Structure 1
Amino acid sequence: MYRKRELEKKIVITLLLGLSCTGMGYAEKVSDGSDGPSFDLGTITVEAKRPDWESKLSPGTVTVIRPDDYEGEQKDLSELLKMVPGVHVRELNGKGQYTTVSVRGSTAAQVGVFVDGVLYNLGGDAAVDISTIPVKNVERIEVYRGYIPARFGGTYIGGVINIVTKRPSKPNVSASFGKSSYGGYKGSLQIDAPLGKGSFMLGVNRDQSQGDFRYQNYNNDEAVVSYQKVIDVEQGYIDSAYASAITTTFSALKVTEINGHTAEYYASNLAEWNTYLASNAAYSAAYDTVIAATSSTLSVNKIGSRLYSLSDYNISSNPKYTYVKESLSVAELAMVTPVLAYASASERAAYIQSMINNGTYTYADYWNLYVKLTSLQKLSYTYGVPLSNAKRLAAIEKYKSLQEKYGDGTRYRKYNDYKNTDVIAKWQDDHWLAKATWKEIDRHLPRSLMWQNSPSAVVDTDIPSFANARTKQTIISKEALVGRRDTIGNLEWGWNINYLNQAKRYKCENWKDLDKFYKWFYDTDNVQDMYSKIPMRKWSVYDSRRWGTSIDGTYKAGNNHMLEFMINYSDENMDVKGSGITDGTLETGYSSTNRYRTDYTQKLFNVQLQDTITLNKRGDLWLTPSIRYNQSEINSGKAVGWATNVGTPPEWMFDSIDQQDNKVTWQLALKKQINENLTLRTTCGTYYRLLNLYEIAGDGGSILPAPISSNSAVKSLNFPVPEEGKQFDISAIWNGRALGADSKVQLTYFYRNADKLLMLWRYGYDYWSYTNTSNGKAKGVEIQTDMSWKKWDLNLGATYLKASAARWNDSPAVGQTSADSYSVHQTYTPEWEGFCRLGYRPDKKTMLFGEIKYVDEMYTSYDKNIPSVQDSLTTVGLGIKHQFGKDFQAVVGCSDIFNKGPQLKVHEGNMTYNADYPLQGRTYYTTLQYKF
């Protein structure tokens, strides 16, 4: 009986490989359903949760990747998905850290990720972090674009990724060990054994890395120059008689408040004032770098506001700003003086715009003036009180020391380490499936090089800074699945019950040092423990628990219909805990409004039906309609906290949030097999992406529910509602001989129109909210070619994507009176993306392979007035595999051999700086694998 099942399995796999691809050896396997469904149920083999023949029931675009084809190459899920046309992977925090995936220009939240047919997306997450999903014990990865089969509950605008774990097979024990650059290590052990009437698999895997790679900080030189400015100014005060003039004018300011204190205060607290200068001067000067780097983000309104602020001190008479006035040229004074005549910032901005419009001055003229005024104001403020020569000499030595710490810009990435451990136990026979998994992720969270307003050159140094907070993240996930499948006549059906528990823990390991830094930075006892008193800063925990159940099946209704149905339900609860919130230490004083939610629930219900209809006697023309009903019910408990200066807080700020959304959507596909080589197909449909918990109810901190707009013209911009969209694609698949090779070429044109897209709006400086304030379109072409000769394999994939988007002109705040929109860039969406892999097999035991990946340049800001663009990236990898005998294999390789990842640049106007998170570059690896 056991041998019979094994024979059946081999026959089915062989048939699937013949239908789905022409690649051989290590070539990528692509399934596209081009040969049409066969309705002969016969004897089936259960693999994961679906029978193999059912994979032919998807009439849309689907790519299947088998990780074993790349065994030993130390590829994670993100690397495998980069090979799929239409898929873009964004390693937000760098390799091995938080990573998301989008499909055909979608957002990451619009992609559904399933493991063995069970939804992996959690309501408490913005999107699935695919870096947390191991692939060592995975049999295949299915990537669906366009038409989504009915077996996957929910409607996802981008697409669906289904990860199918391996089925226990014949008795087997295998182990592998791998090392790579930057402290990388991979180890695994898999045991397969017969158990009862089925087979049992146990897999244990470990993946870890220090991630301390070297890169060049492009802002470093400017930071060093900014410190040199401080040194020069201090030295200038020592050498110049101008210091005495400043002393005289400052002594006249007996009642003028500076930084909240009087001149008498500083006279009696000179030591404290000198300490403040020593600390503030460094950051004031270094901040010039950020101002310059973000110059194009400043609008005419901001220039007007800057000039308006000068009137607070009257640039023409206040002694404190004598330095500013005397530092302006005659031409610059001519630009400043008329602006000061206007009473408000908006009037000054209008005047500036009129001067630009009539050609008197250019935007660059005003921008250069803005930069100079900003710098002069800070210098005059910082050095408005004279220091003794001894203090100045000490400051000079301090800043020279800081320059030495900056060095030549060479950095080693800090807090970029991770340790991932996962265990899977799976038992399966011809009907039953039981699976349990445990996973622990232990990692630090690397800091962004453009973190808030801190100079990016400070990151990854030993210089105390907010940007060097050391945050530890631990994720522990537990999952269980039990299911059964049966065949009764023409009905193949099954059910499953699943459970998922995930605990995310965050801990700031150096919060005591940051408390000291705050006190040092502000030089006052009033901000003691300022960092750690901010809620959620010291530690936080997000516990999610979800259980679900599903029933689905396929019914052969006569010779021309194959019905597929699915009904599922899930109930998720998330609890939030954190310092300053649930430990009884919540305090006021850090923000105008304190409000946090600690309990969230979401219930999902899906009913979906699909019919594959054979339209002709030849059996080569199929129509596949599908209808879906999807529902979500979300509730968040009342917020805890209070308002300190807003009077009576609005109900939406503190009351519980309850929202239910539901809708019916449809899909339609038509497929025609022209001949044995050519198949044509087209699909279309509507989508309704149900929202996650924090998009509606907030995240327990800085994200709150959106306020309700009183304007009926924009009533859709109240509390967030699900995103909607329509899609269309058309494909041609050719399968045959070309250039002496077994070849397959798949060409697809796609189009999608999405409405009510969610975007974050910031309300003042208090909080952010999600609102449906955008819409977008995406169209493009995907092409994939797989060719296999006797000793060579070639895989090519490319995507052309043209995306456009628009957002509302005003935030949907209470009382909004306009719903005008304007065009924006779709960020981090490359226009071109491609992959090429070439394999050569000189003999049956050896394979040499090379890969090239290309990602086009991308906008990093949605604002079209900001020319902020990240460079294109081309990486090259090489490797060799060799089989020593029957059971032992060794792999040696190098990825990104030209070390392009750490060199990635972002250009904004004439400024150049690093990508937000540098990418790991040249990485050598070796893997040894033995099968017992």
Structure 2
Amino acid sequence: MRLSPISQLALIVALCAGSSPAWAAENDSAPPGESSASAPKTQQEIVVTANSRQELQDILSPGVVSVVYPDDTRGEHKALPDLLDQIPGVYVRRVGGTGGYTTTSIRGSAPSQVNIYIDGVPFNLSSETAADISTIPISNVERVEVYRGVTPARFSGAPLGGAINIVTKMPTDLSGTVSAGARSFGGRQFSGNLNFPLLGGGLLLGLDMERSKGDFKYPLIAARELDGIEFGDAEWSGDGQPNTPCSTYLVYQGIREINPLCQFPTSRRRQNNSFQRDNVLVKWRNENITAKYSFTYLNRYMPTLVYEPVGYSLVDLPAYTFPAVNLTEGSLAGLGVPYNKRRQQKQYQHEGALNWQERFGNLELALNLNLMDQRKRFNNYDLATPFGVGSRTALYRTTRYGITADASYTLGSDWDVAQLLELHVQHNWEEMRYDANNLINLVTGLRRGDFYQNYKRQLTNIQVQDTLTFRTLGDLQVAPIFRIEKLTGPVLGSQDNIFGPSSGNYGWKPTWSVSAKKKVGSDWLLFASYGTYNRYPNFYEIYGDGVYIQAGADSVGNVAPLLREHGRNWDAGLGWNGTIAGDLTGSFRATYFNRKTEDEITLFLTPVGGKYVNSGTTITKGGEFEASLKWGNRADLQLAATVQDGYYDKGTYFLYPGIPVGDRVAGKLRTLQHPGFTANARLNLHFLSGALTTFGEVKHTGRNYLGQFRGTGNLEDAFIYEEPLTTIDVGAHMRLPHGITVSGGVSDLFNAGPRQKMRGSQFAYHGYTKCDVLEADETGDYSCFDDPANAVTENYALAGNTYFPRQGRTFYVTIAKSFGAKDWRAVASPGIRAGDERNWTGFYAGGHIGRGWGRRNANEILVFDKRQNGVFGGQIDGVARFDSDGNFIDRNAFAPGFTGSGAALGSVPEDGVRSDKHKGADYGFRLGYDHQVGSWLFGVVGEWADFNLVDSVSGYALLTNIATQQALPPTSYSFTRHLKSGLSLRARTGYSWRGTLGYVTAGIIRADVGHAFSTTNTINAFEESNAGKHRWGHQYGGGIEQHIAGPLTIGLEYLRTNIKDGDYTVAAGVAGTTPIFTGFQQGLVGQGTHSPTDIRRSEPRYRIDSLWLTLGYRF
């Protein structure tokens, strides 16, 4: 198995670390000395307040909460959506393949009504309709908390559906883990973390990576059903054979026509379904302060929706996948548009948080500063012609700053009525900026749609919770919560929206809730809650994206602002936790819930776009059940199930052309995308004193309604729905000596996912007549056609694929290694054990991870050598240019200009460019030797580094045919260099003081640089020279390095790399036996009057600045 860059670095990290056990511990108790005697008061303290998982679940919230632990399924290649499948009341909506866009619904809510938090900080952004949980890695997550119904006051906002809080791991003593795994369809996972003491606290460094091609097989279900259909028209078809969906007899031509689509196979392999996700987590904590930084990079392709009303489809056919598809040749050329284009999304997300907390007796205070910076870029590489704003490229940049203050006070802990008072105040500033191709109107020269370029809003939350415990009533707990929130912006009007006057300041809006729970005896628990809830529309719902979703306005252009969603939610239930018999223990919770939402926000789509509207009032009710059984250390079973029903009480959602669906259905109007029944069951069997664990897991999703309608004359409603899906997973985990765990298994054992069917959306119709057409034409007697009984229509309801087929049977294997602090005491050198940890003399090995910034050459151009003598300059002649008065300017063919921003996507600047990768994460490995003389150090280091940076320059030209002086079509020319990696040798010298080394370094590098040339010019011939991939350069920089524990060192290094890359040239000559000469072959050059012109970039050097975090192991 080939490891990715981050994976390989994580391996180095793990080889330099120690850890706790790799497999989830059987013992659920908290570390010694930590107690759950008091309820949690802040996000930071919750981590250490529970003696058991069950007790933690009881104290996290006054309402209903479930907790899942990623380490329990480590090695099974599960992502966050897979963990949420195990929780009742939660439904995960997946779009695309593994790693595709994924959202969550709680108790039948819309995904936009679910709040996501990471360590208590909101993850949802106003630029998105819902939080995409596929972007959140879990290898360094401690637990996932799901709150249904009441959400504690320590979480900002009052979500209609519920909340999910993802708690990342805390730094521990010197320890570490590393794991690597592979699975079917090109899937790979790699993760590692390192914990060590630093600056009076603990530091956690975490790395996580996942890759997948997602090229699984699936059947084209509707096409296979059509293949078995023969129409009942054999007697009247004309040749005595029945017509079929693939074969129709043409009476007048006297031939049988074959449907060209039927020649394609009905077994497909998913294309453009890959994804890559990398995450770096740095977290430091001491007794009072926690600082965290996280960076996530996502690169995924969005597969084509599998849908074709006639049953046959060109989706996922290699012959019709760009760029191989030929749209101009062959009888099937027209069928290739617009299938299987490469639509890519890249996302860069930075998150930072700084938290302080302090306890003053019964008073605890906390302050949190946080920020999030997210950049999302959409690229449609294979779109032949950009049809609108953002159709080829779109860029979303969202920045959010937040400040949160928390206070809690314990009052009367030994009184008959004890109180825990909590205050939570939060204020967020958020801004989204949008840019896209085709923003400039070529006719007017003005920017299109300036109302959706920049949005700002501020949100303030003030929340108070009082948890009262009545000792005299058997510890009855009642927790009222009062919230007020205010949204300033978004503001519609003036510069932001052309539709009308400003609005959008929603003022202070109150919500409240109250919950109660009571233990009955030692084993039983009764609980209930009631509350009101509130959600403001987000940027996307109000403004749209200027492309497919428009800002809200009525037919005459007046502003139609969205109202906030609001409603109420109540639930009640009971639970039990105790011993059944002997060492067989168990627990369960059963809950009934009921929610009413007013002014629900839904999407109204039309063929030319859509907008979000307030569609009415919905009601959702149902029940949840979760249970567990544990038979000593031999076996355990977890169960979860949900039954729910959602419908409109008043109002409706709309279909084009403004049809109110609620007025057209016979029964109740269902809410969509909420399965009526879901269930999950997992059985773990433990052998060999817990060293071997085998498991089986069953997941079931019931019928999922996607649409509801009633045709003319129908008495009953018809539905579009996905059929129920049941999958079975099996596998095993084996713990070996020396902290090694091997895991293996198969997901979806019976390959049910790709075969899941959708019904109600695909139909086959065939009409024919029982009359002889040729005879009627010959005799002129058409009376046969007047009898309605002779006109026959056959209808066939077909099952089809789901819009995005699920990946099926997937085999996987994972190996994990964990290290503890005791491992280093055994391997430390005698010198280190003796305490001489400040001496740097000796060999060392290590690696680095960091970020590189390539020089942005935005003003770079192309230069030309028309004499091929090595002298570049001058211009290429082309179409003549004149000023507004008709005066001649010049014949500069490249007058349309140059750009150093990327490779051209078309022939003119307005077509845009494929953006370069000027910056990105990089990693490397190093081996070196240092010699210390006194406090001075002299050494040499060899290093291999991966850069993966792309730098392009493009030029646009208007050439002429020299012989005829006729203008030729516009053309573009792009030079791209790809800095892949480099091997360097450097000297370094520095000064050591108390275990800290400061140094400078310099040396040479041999870089692996790939070159590419592309052009839309099909008239000339082009030949590359000096395209060899190796280039030489030099490096210099400096850094600081620190001994942290035993043989381990950590450091920070800055390095500048300069690479000489000016030899790559392209010669523009003539092509064919009857060449057309252009400005590239004009003039007295070379050996004749029509010799080629050499072209190269104007910038012969490539500069990269890098900032690296280094880790080393000294021998």
- Correspondences of 1:129-144 after superposition (within 5 Å): 129-144=132-147
1:918 aligns with 2:802: no
1:782 equivalent to 2:634? Answer no
CA shift, 1:698, in A, is 2.0
- 2:183 paired with 1:180: yes
* CA-CA distance at 1:84 after TM superposition: 0.2
In structure 2, the partner of 1:902 is: 754
Give the secondary structure class of the aligned counterpart of 1:551.
Answer: strand
Of 414, 422, 444, the match for 1:564: 422
Distance verdict in 2 for CA 1:812–1:601, change over 3 Å: farther
Counterpart pick for 1:548 among 387, 391, 402 = 402
Match of 1:732 among 555, 568, 574: 574
- 1:300 maps to which residue? none
Identity of aligned residues (%): 30
Equivalent-residue separation in structure 2 for 1:454 and 1:498 (angstroms): 52
Aligned pairs for 1:613-692 within 5 A? 613-617=468-472, 620-635=475-490, 653=499, 658-692=504-538
Distance 1:811 1:749, change over 3 A: closer
Deviation larger for 896-905 or 695-704:
695-704
**Alpha-carbon spacing, 1:877–1:584, altered in 2? closer, same or farther (3 Å):** same
1:350 alignment counterpart: none
Do the aligned partners of 1:219 and 1:457 also contact (CA within 8 Å) in 2? no
Q: Partners of 1:635 and 1:880 in 2: how far apart?
A: 52
Q: Compared with structure 1, are the counterparts of its residues 873 and 40 closer, same or farther at alpha carbon in structure 2 (3 Å cutoff)?
A: closer
Q: Does 1:828 align with 2:684?
A: no
Which residue of 2 is the match for residue 695 of structure 1?
541
1:660 Cα offset (Å)? 3.0
- Judged with a 3 Å threshold, the aligned counterparts in structure 2 of structure 1 residues 216 and 817 are, in CA distance, closer, same or farther, namely closer
The CA distance in 2 between the partners of 1:794 and 1:920, in whole Å, is: 26
Are 1:579 and 2:437 matched, yes or no?
yes
The answer to whether the 8 A contact 2:222-2:798 is kept is no
Unaligned runs of 5+ in 1: 1-12, 14-22, 31-35, 241-284, 290-374, 513-528, 642-650
1:557 positional shift? 2.2
Counterpart CA distance in 1 for 2:397 and 2:658 is 37
Contact 2:700 2:727 in 1 (8 A): yes
Determine helix, strand or coil for the equivalent of 2:71: helix
- In structure 2, the residue corresponding to 1:753 is in which secondary structure? strand
CA distance in 2, matches of 1:778, 1:206: 38
Map of 1:469 onto structure 2: 341
Shift of 1:575: 0.7
Specify the SS of the correspondent of 2:146.
strand
Question: Are 1:840 and 2:685 matched, yes or no?
Answer: yes
Q: Partner of 1:245 in structure 2?
A: none
Structure 1 residue 29, shift from structure 2 partner: 11
Q: Does the CA-based 8 Å contact 1:28-1:66 persist in structure 2?
A: no
Distance change (3 Å), C-alpha of 1:785 and 1:48: closer
Query: Cα–Cα, structure 1 residues 800 and 104, in superposed 2: closer, same or farther, change >3 Å?
Result: same
Residue from 355, 359, 372 that aligns with 1:483: 355
Please state if 1:211 is matched with 2:214. yes
Provide the residue aligned with 2:315 in structure 1.
Answer: 459
Q: Write the distance in 1 (CA, Å) between the matches of 2:721 and 2:754.
A: 16
Deviation sequence 1:702-729 (CA, Å, 0-9, x none): 2223225999xxx9x9421111111111
Distance 2:304 2:494 in 1: 30
Q: Secondary structure at the match of 1:694?
A: helix
The question of whether the paired residues in 1 share the 8 Å contact of 2:652 and 2:660 is answered with no
Residue number in structure 2 paired with 1:201: 204
8 A Cα contact 1:420 1:442, kept in partner: yes
Counterpart for residue 6 of structure 1: none
> With CA pairs under 8 Å and 6+ residues apart, which has the higher RCO, 1 or 2?
1
- When residues 506 and 27 of structure 1 are mapped into structure 2, their CA distance, relative to the original with a 3 A threshold, is farther
Q: Distance in 1 between matches of 2:638 and 2:128?
A: 34
Query: Structure 1's 222 and 62: CA in aligned 2 closer, same or farther, altered over 3 A?
Result: closer
The residue matched to 2:420 in structure 1 has which SS?
A: strand
**Residue matched to 1:318:** none
Structure 1 CA distance for aligned equivalents of residues 36 and 588 of structure 2? 20
Q: CA contact under 8 A between 1:223 and 1:457: conserved in structure 2?
A: no
Confirm or deny: 8 A CA contact 1:45 1:52 kept in the other structure.
no
Partner of 1:111: 114
Measure how far apart 1:811 and its partner are. Answer: 6.2
* Per-residue deviation, residues 544-579 of structure 1 (Å, max 9, x unmatched): 111101001211122321111100011111111111
1:567-619 deviation digits (Å, cap 9, x = unpaired): 001111111111101x565889xxxx977611111211100000011234365
CA contact 2:636–2:685 (8 Å) conserved in 1: yes
Provide, for residues 29-67 of structure 1, a one-character-per-residue CA deviation record: whole Å limited to 9, x for no partner: 99xxxxx9844899x994588966997151111111111
**Which aligned pairs between 1:386-425 and structure 2 lie closer than 5 A?**
400=260, 402-404=261-263, 406-407=264-265, 409-425=266-282
2: CA distance between counterparts of 1:660 and 1:813?
30
1:632 CA drift (Å):
1.7
Deviation, 1:70, is: 1.2
Distance verdict in 2 for CA 1:176–1:584, change over 3 Å? farther
TM-aligned CA distance change 1:621 to 1:699, over 3 Å: same
1:710–1:814 Cα contact (<8 Å) kept: no
Q: Taking structure 2 as the reference length, what is the TM-score of the superposition?
A: 0.59
Report the TM-score when normalising by structure 1.
0.71
Give the match's secondary structure for 1:219: helix
Distance of 1:202 and 1:652 partners within structure 2:
49
1:597 aligns with 2:452: yes
Structure 2: distance between partners of 1:585 and 1:743:
70
2:758 alignment partner AA: V
CA 1:500 to 1:182, structure 2 compared with 1: closer, same or farther past 3 Å?
A: same
Structure showing the higher helix proportion among its residues: 1
**1:251 maps to which residue?**
none
- Out of 717, 720, 740, the residue aligned to residue 888 of structure 1 is 740
Could you tell me whether the CA contact under 8 Å between 2:39 and 2:49 is conserved in 1? no
Look up the equivalent residue of 2:489 and give its one-letter code.
Answer: I
Tell me which of 287, 300, 303 is aligned to 1:430.
Answer: 287
Structure 1 residues 840 and 49: CA distance shift in structure 2, 3 A: closer
Q: Which residue of 1 aligns with 2:302?
A: 445
Runs of 5+ in structure 2 lacking a partner? 1-19, 321-335, 711-716, 764-796, 820-1115
What is the alpha-carbon distance in structure 1 between the residues aligned to residue 225 and residue 573 of structure 2?
Answer: 51
Distance 1:109 1:876 in 2: 30
Residue 339 of structure 2 aligns to a residue in which SS?
helix
- Tell me the amino acid that sits aligned with residue 677 of structure 2: W
Task: Tell me the SS of whatever aligns to 1:433.
Answer: strand
Matched AA of 2:627: T
When residues 425 and 735 of structure 1 are mapped into structure 2, their CA distance, relative to the original with a 3 A threshold, is same
Computing the radius of gyration from Cα coordinates, the structure with the larger value is: 2
> Which amino acid is 1:598 matched to?
Q
Compute the displacement of 1:102 (Å).
0.4
CA contact (8 A) 1:41 1:490 kept: no
- CA distance in structure 1 between the partners assigned to 2:70 and 2:426 by the alignment: 29
SS at match of 2:735: strand
CA offsets 1:82-109 (integer angstroms, 9 cap, x no match)? 0001111111223210111100110100
Q: 2:85 & 2:443 partners in 1: Cα distance?
A: 45
Q: What amino acid does structure 1 have at the position aligned with 2:210?
A: D
In the alignment, is the contact (CA less than 8 A) between 1:707 and 1:814 conserved in 2?
no
Q: Summarize the alignment of residues 202-601 of structure 1 with structure 2, pairs less than 5 Å apart.
A: 202-221=205-224, 400=260, 402-404=261-263, 406-407=264-265, 409-450=266-307, 457-461=313-317, 462-463=319-320, 464-512=336-384, 529=385, 532-559=386-413, 560-581=418-439, 585=442, 597-601=452-456
Match of 2:604 among 761, 772, 787: 761
Q: 2:707 aligns with which of 858, 861, 869?
A: 861
Quickly say closer, same or farther: Cα 1:222–1:564, change in 2 above 3 A.
same
Report the count of equivalent residues: 714
**Inter-partner Cα distance in structure 1 for 2:811 and 2:494:** 50
Residue 367 (structure 1) aligns with: none
Please state how far the C-alpha of 1:444 moved relative to its aligned partner. 0.6
User: What amino acid maps onto 1:914 in structure 2?
Assistant: N
The residue matched to 1:122 in structure 2 has which SS? coil
